[in-house]
Structure formats: C-alpha cells, structure tokens
Chains A and B, each alone.
Chain A
C-alpha cells in the first residue's frame, strides 16, 4: 500500500504538471524564453543574477521544504489518512503550484519586486504596513511552532551529542572553505565524515548516559503550564534553550561563519534520509521484509475533539505540503530575481511545489504505516496523537532505512537530524528577518531595537514564551492559518495583476478566495471558540490567572491576524474590481 501511494502521488504530479500547469504557462501567462528577465536586465552579480533552471530548482526546493510538509500530514492523519492525502493532492494540483509559480511570474514581470512592494503597488499603501506586521506575527508563530516541536526531539538521549558534533563539523567546514581555502570536495568529505561519526557516537551508551545525566538535573514538571496540557520538563526546557542559543548564533554571527556551513554539512544527511527512506519503501514492498500495509484507518472522524472539525482545521493543519504562503516569499524575494528565462519559472517554482507534495505523501505514509503499533496514535482514544508528531516521522524513517540494513538507532538519529536541520535552517533565517523587521518598524521610536543583539533577544524571548506556555497543536493550527492566509494574499495579488493585464484570472482567484474563507474560519475557530469562549468565558472563575492569560494571548494572536487579513481582503477586492474595470492605477 505504501508503494502504491507513493506511485499514485508521482503519477498525479506528472499529470498535473503536464496537462494543467503547462497549459496555464503557455496559454494564460504566455511565458516567453526571449523576454528579458530581471536577472538579465538588472544583473548586478548580487541580488539579480541569472542561474540555470536545475540549480534554481534545488535552491527553491531546499528553501520551501521545512517542517510543514512533514508534520502537517501527521497531525491531520488524526482524521484518517484518506482526507489528509486527498487534500495534499488537491492542494498541490489546484492551489500550491498556482501560488508558487504565479508569485514568481508576478515578481518577474514587475521588475523583481517583492511582496511588500507588490502589495503597495497593487492593493493599497496601507497594505504594505499591514503585511509587514502580519508577517512579523506569522514568523513568530513559525518560531514557536517549530521550536515547540524540536525541543522535545532534541531532548531524546540519542540526539544531542550527534547534533552538537554536526554543528562543530559545520563550523569547521566554514573555516576550511572561507579561511583556509580548502577544496570544497575535500571539505565536504572530511566534515560529513566527522558528522556521521558524531551521529553514531551519539547513539552509543556512554553518550546517551551523558545526555541522561543532563536531562536528570531537573524535575519532570519544571515549569507549570497554565493551559493545562502537561507541565514542561527540565530536559525539554534545557534543550529549548540550547536550540534558541543555536538560532541566536545563526542570527548574529556572519552567515559564512555559522549558519551557511552548518546548513551545508547537514544537507547531506537530509538527502541521505530522504532518498534512503524512499528506497526503503520500494525495497520493503518487493521483499516484504516489513509490513507496508496501512494500520491507520482511511477515515476516522469528521470531528477530533482536541483539534476541531475537519473543515476548516484539516486544511490549515496540512500547510506546506499542499499550499503555503512561505513559498510566495521565497518565489518573489529569491527565485524571481535569478530566473534566466521566463520559461524556467514553471519547472523551478511549480516543479519544486509538486516535489514537496511527494514529500508530504511520504510523511503520510510514515504516519499510516507504523505509527499505531509504534504507540503514537491511540485507537482507544479515537486515534488521538499521543506523542510528538516529529517522533512519528523519525520512527517511520528509521523503520524504512532499517530495510536497507541501517541500524534502528542510527536511522532514528539521522531522522532526528533531518527534522532538526529542516526546522533550524528556517528558524535562523526567520530570526534574522525578525531582528531586521523590528529594527525597521520600531528602531526610530525605540533605538535599542537597532542593536542586533537586542532585537534578536526580544524575538527569542517571545518565542520562548510560546514554547513554554503554548499548546503545540493550537500553535500549529495558528501557524498553519497565518501561513494559508498569506497564500490567500499572494493569490489575491496574483489575481489583481492578472485582471489588470486582461488575462484569465479564475485559476488563481477561486483558490485564493477558498483559501481565505477556510483560513479565516480556522483562525476564528481557534481564537474565538477555543480560546475566548471555551478558555475564558466558560472557564471564568475555574482556571488559574495563567490559564486565562494563556488563552488571551492565543485569542489576541488569532484575532489580530483575522482583522489584518480582512482589511487586506477588503482593500484587495476593491483593487480587484478596479483592475477588472481597467481602472487600477499602479504607478507605471
């Protein structure tokens, strides 16, 4: 069954690309290989610089694939694997690639403008300011959601020593490449080997004992969580601090010294884990060495009490695997300024999204195959996810790599490194951006924010607040909601531009509006129904002050995003009406 699912996803990707995406590319946007792109027109060897399609495809895929396509399907599988997989396929085919490819074309045909400038030009002047504040909260939720997921994974005894040695190997890679000018091939072999030995050492008993000793220095209920979802242990708290320290270094140190070389060394383990587990599925299907039939039912329920109704929650829980606003940021800020030819936009931006759909399918397979017998979903509690979603992925990856004779512990350690690296790569970038954004937005009124350390520490303290007091699955839904609203905004911008050019726009406008309605409903469900109604009104006088404050913070995040997204929608629809009537002034 696992192999069938993987093959179905690959066939659908091929059909969607060949018969839908290419038609839009050729008939609607009429991509022209001879038209000069911003990369060629404004080539400055820095921001604008042409690169080949295959290089950019790798760049785009690496930039968009974070924890979203991995974790979302595992959480959403609590409704059954079928609704999860159907949304992944529909999302990729009719929403995801449209947004990624459309954003790249939109930026490319507008001189390489990024989303802030585009919203100013096509929606309204206040749209840019709203978008930036919305973006700050969205990025904070990314930090909180990813951080809350990664801290307990790092606390597992087989993980930290390997991770620390990997980071040291990465720092060495930076020194070898940039200071000592050693050949990249030699640097790669030496540092990857050191990291691999480190990861193996991390799985041995003495290393696990050291981590166990650190984890045992504090109690299991180190911090009382007022939201009532179990206390935070010392181990989780300690490794959350280590993770934030790592992000801090990634944010304030020169990129070449820390973030880039560590990401580079880690990349090889991501590649190993990805292709190793895919190969494991194929081998397991043919040899029957492990059972690849699905343990999780295709359909479980339309209402999971701790999550909410399947609509709208499922559609924001699976974010990046189906459609994600983050991708439009990558497409406009990075890729659109490097595309050599207009005709490269579809294989690069659209193709990377299709490939991410396959990654999300892989994650669903892991959830459906081993996770019930592995004790992750509890059949007696309606298949509620009982442990961290990251653990499901790590366990699935280790099981399939075990088919290729990788020891289970080493497979788990590689799976953990895979997850941690995917999360921390994005978290470092996000933290760096948050620091720049706070300096830009608040620096004039509060000069302290112009200091990079101050801006970074403030962002980290806010992140820690979410990690310590937030309920992870709610935070994930809020993060998914803000992410999908961002996708809605990008699709709305695309529709306005298409209408202003007199091109067919329904292929972007309809998914955009569906995304908007669904995500606003999800954000209202979490902030108004869960946090305000159930958490504050119904619990008035029963919960502790911390419980009320925790719910108030969740409600405030959700409601701010609802208000900001609604204003953007109203302004956007006005601009869309003007664009259709040919009356939109864009300052050209």
Chain B
C-alpha cells in the first residue's frame, strides 16, 4: 500500500467513524430542527398561497406580491400538503 493509498484509507475510515457518531448523536437533532422550520413554512405558505390548493385565505393581490419569494418551495410544499399521511408517520 503506497503512502497516498494509506492516507486515503485512513481518511475514509475517519470519515465513516465521524459520520457514524454524528448519526448516533446529532442526526435526529438536525432533522428535528428542519422539521420545526418545515412546519412553520408549511403554515406560512398555506396562509399566503392557499388559493393554489383551493383554500383562499389571503386576498390574491398579496399572494401575487409574495409569489416570487415562495416559488422555489411551491412544488415540495404541495407534495407535502397533499401526500396521504398515516399515524405511524409520527414515529419518524
């Protein structure tokens, strides 16, 4: 095994161990933070862009003003909103 191969091997091992410890210790925390943010955004888009799903809450004038800022998230938001949900999802 050459010096370069050795270095690459050890760096790979270190990477795997670091990821494993992160997965055990912090991954759940990171997911939870994202979920909290996600549910806030979910509600925000529902209030501002509800008419995309047939739930008009805000007058369309304001929705149109906000639309350019929300466009990048509209497709994932609609998918989350309309996806069939089950109680066992809550265990995730």
Interface residues, chain A, CB within 8 Å of chain B?
42-47, 49, 51-52, 54-63, 113-117, 120, 128, 131-132, 135, 177-178, 184, 254-256, 260-261, 263-264, 267-268, 271, 329-330, 332-334, 337, 429, 432-433, 436-437, 440
Residue B51 at the chain A interface, CB threshold 8 Å? no
* Chain A residues whose CB sits within 8 angstroms of the CB of B26 once the complex forms: 184, 264
* Chain A residues whose CB sits within 8 angstroms of the CB of B15 once the complex forms: 54
Q: Is A260 a contact partner of B88 (Cβ separation < 8 A)?
A: no
Instruction: Select A117's contact among B24, B76, B86, beta carbons within 8 Å.
Output: B86
Q: Is A113 a contact partner of B19 (Cβ separation < 8 A)?
A: no
Residue B53 at the chain A interface, CB threshold 8 Å? no
Known contacts: A54-B16, A256-B36. The answer to whether A114 contacts B22 by CB under 8 A is: no
User: Given the complex of chains A and B, what is the CA–CA distance between A128 and B85 in angstroms?
Assistant: 12
Known contacts: A59-B28, A264-B29. The answer to whether A114 contacts B88 by CB under 8 A is: yes
Residue B90 at the chain A interface, CB threshold 8 Å? yes
Instruction: Select B79's contact among A42, A177, A437, beta carbons within 8 Å.
Output: A42
Which residue of B has the minimal Cβ distance to A132? B87
Residue B25 at the chain A interface, CB threshold 8 Å? yes
Q: Is B32 a contact partner of A113 (Cβ separation < 8 A)?
A: no
Known contacts: A46-B35, A116-B86, A433-B91. The answer to whether A54 contacts B80 by CB under 8 A is: no
User: Given the complex of chains A and B, what is the CA–CA distance between A252 and B34 in angstroms?
Assistant: 19
Residue B33 at the chain A interface, CB threshold 8 Å? yes
Q: Kindly provide the distance from the CB of A421 to the nearest chain B CB, expressed in whole angstroms.
A: 12
Instruction: Select A49's contact among B21, B34, B84, B90, beta carbons within 8 Å.
Output: B34
Can you offer 15 A-B residue contacts whose CB atoms are under 8 A?
A42-B76, A42-B79, A45-B38, A55-B19, A55-B20, A58-B21, A62-B24, A62-B25, A117-B84, A117-B88, A264-B26, A334-B92, A429-B91, A433-B90, A437-B87
Q: Which residues of B10-66 are within 8 A (CB) of A?
A: 15-16, 19-29, 31-38
Q: Is A260 a contact partner of B80 (Cβ separation < 8 A)?
A: no
* Chain B residues whose CB sits within 8 angstroms of the CB of A132 once the complex forms: 87-88
Instruction: Select A44's contact among B19, B21, B76, beta carbons within 8 Å.
Output: B76
Known contacts: A46-B35, A54-B23, A57-B23. The answer to whether A333 contacts B88 by CB under 8 A is: yes
Instruction: Select B19's contact among A58, A178, A264, beta carbons within 8 Å.
Output: A58
Q: Kindly provide the distance from the CB of B53 to the nearest chain A CB, expressed in whole angstroms.
A: 16
Q: Is A260 a contact partner of B25 (Cβ separation < 8 A)?
A: no
Q: Kindly provide the distance from the CB of A588 to the nearest chain B CB, expressed in whole angstroms.
A: 14
Q: Is A57 a contact partner of B88 (Cβ separation < 8 A)?
A: no
Instruction: Select A43's contact among B22, B76, B87, beta carbons within 8 Å.
Output: B76
Q: Is A55 a contact partner of B88 (Cβ separation < 8 A)?
A: no
Q: Is B80 a contact partner of A58 (Cβ separation < 8 A)?
A: no
Q: Is B34 a contact partner of A55 (Cβ separation < 8 A)?
A: no
Q: Kindly provide the distance from the CB of B88 to the nearest chain A CB, expressed in whole angstroms.
A: 4
- Among B20, B80, B92, chain A packs the most CB atoms within 10 A around the CB of B92
User: Given the complex of chains A and B, what is the CA–CA distance between A562 and B88 in angstroms?
Assistant: 21
User: Given the complex of chains A and B, what is the CA–CA distance between A436 and B87 in angstroms?
Assistant: 8
User: Given the complex of chains A and B, what is the CA–CA distance between A115 and B89 in angstroms?
Assistant: 8
* Chain B residues whose CB sits within 8 angstroms of the CB of A113 once the complex forms: 86
User: Given the complex of chains A and B, what is the CA–CA distance between A43 and B83 in angstroms?
Assistant: 13
User: Given the complex of chains A and B, what is the CA–CA distance between A159 and B53 in angstroms?
Assistant: 54
* Chain B residues whose CB sits within 8 angstroms of the CB of A59 once the complex forms: 23-24, 27-28
* Chain B residues whose CB sits within 8 angstroms of the CB of A432 once the complex forms: 90
* Chain A residues whose CB sits within 8 angstroms of the CB of B79 once the complex forms: 42, 44
Which residue of B has the minimal Cβ distance to A41? B79
* Chain A residues whose CB sits within 8 angstroms of the CB of B36 once the complex forms: 254-256
Which residue of A has the minimal Cβ distance to B20? A58
Closest 8 CB pairs of A and B: A58-B23, A54-B19, A46-B38, A116-B86, A58-B24, A333-B92, A55-B23, A114-B88
Q: Is A58 a contact partner of B22 (Cβ separation < 8 A)?
A: yes
User: Given the complex of chains A and B, what is the CA–CA distance between A132 and B29 in angstroms?
Assistant: 27
Contacts A184-B26, A260-B29, A268-B25 supplied; 13 other A-B pairs, CB < 8 Å: A45-B38, A56-B27, A57-B20, A58-B21, A59-B27, A114-B91, A256-B32, A263-B28, A267-B25, A333-B90, A333-B92, A429-B91, A433-B91
User: Given the complex of chains A and B, what is the CA–CA distance between A337 and B88 in angstroms?
Assistant: 13
User: Given the complex of chains A and B, what is the CA–CA distance between A261 and B28 in angstroms?
Assistant: 10
* Chain A residues whose CB sits within 8 angstroms of the CB of B90 once the complex forms: 333, 432-433, 436-437
* Chain A residues whose CB sits within 8 angstroms of the CB of B31 once the complex forms: 49
Q: Is A329 a contact partner of B28 (Cβ separation < 8 A)?
A: no
Known contacts: A57-B23, A59-B24, A256-B32. The answer to whether A47 contacts B92 by CB under 8 A is: yes
Q: Is A56 a contact partner of B23 (Cβ separation < 8 A)?
A: yes
User: Given the complex of chains A and B, what is the CA–CA distance between A337 and B38 in angstroms?
Assistant: 16
User: Given the complex of chains A and B, what is the CA–CA distance between A46 and B85 in angstroms?
Assistant: 14
Which residue of A has the minimal Cβ distance to B83? A42
Instruction: Select B87's contact among A58, A116, A332, beta carbons within 8 Å.
Output: A116
Q: Is A260 a contact partner of B32 (Cβ separation < 8 A)?
A: yes
Q: Kindly provide the distance from the CB of B87 to the nearest chain A CB, expressed in whole angstroms.
A: 5
Q: Kindly provide the distance from the CB of B17 to the nearest chain A CB, expressed in whole angstroms.
A: 8
- Among A55, A135, A267, A436, chain B packs the most CB atoms within 10 A around the CB of A55
Q: Is A58 a contact partner of B27 (Cβ separation < 8 A)?
A: yes
Q: Kindly provide the distance from the CB of B18 to the nearest chain A CB, expressed in whole angstroms.
A: 8
Q: Kindly provide the distance from the CB of B80 to the nearest chain A CB, expressed in whole angstroms.
A: 5
Q: Kindly provide the distance from the CB of A247 to the nearest chain B CB, expressed in whole angstroms.
A: 16
User: Given the complex of chains A and B, what is the CA–CA distance between A334 and B76 in angstroms?
Assistant: 19
Q: Kindly provide the distance from the CB of A11 to the nearest chain B CB, expressed in whole angstroms.
A: 21
User: Given the complex of chains A and B, what is the CA–CA distance between A148 and B87 in angstroms?
Assistant: 27
Known contacts: A54-B20, A54-B23, A59-B28. The answer to whether A329 contacts B91 by CB under 8 A is: yes
- Among B22, B84, B89, B91, chain A packs the most CB atoms within 10 A around the CB of B91
Instruction: Select A260's contact among B16, B28, B84, B89, beta carbons within 8 Å.
Output: B28
Known contacts: A52-B19, A54-B16, A333-B91. The answer to whether A271 contacts B32 by CB under 8 A is: no
